[in-house]
Amino acid sequence: MIGGSLYYSPKRVCQIIVACCMLHNLALRRQVPFLQEDGPAGGLVAAEEPVDSEEEEAEEEEIDNRNNIIMQYFQ
């Protein structure tokens, strides 16, 4: 918000909120690790390190899937 107004219409804001909730629930079901804001230089870092390369590959695939969904619906 800038000066008390929305960037998007209320209908669009509702769609964005629903999409965020869906992505959050999908990430929870697939056990995607949460991110923390206390990384080097204030950047985001994974809360847990992957145990092995197989888990790391699965996590990268899930992140790619999530990013593809975001790009498809919000670009």
Query: What pLDDT does 19 receive?
Result: 92
Token pair belonging to 63:
């992140």
Q: What is the pLDDT of residues 2-16, one digit of tens each?
A: 566 768 888 888 898
| Rounded mean pLDDT, 26-32 | 86
Query: What pLDDT does 48 receive?
Result: 56
Is there a contact between 35 and 47 (Cβ–Cβ < 8 Å)?
yes
Question: CA 59, CA 64: separation in Å to the nearest integer?
Answer: 9
Question: CA 50, CA 47: separation in Å to the nearest integer?
Answer: 10
Going by C-alpha positions, the residue among 49, 51, 31 that lies closest to residue 39 is 49
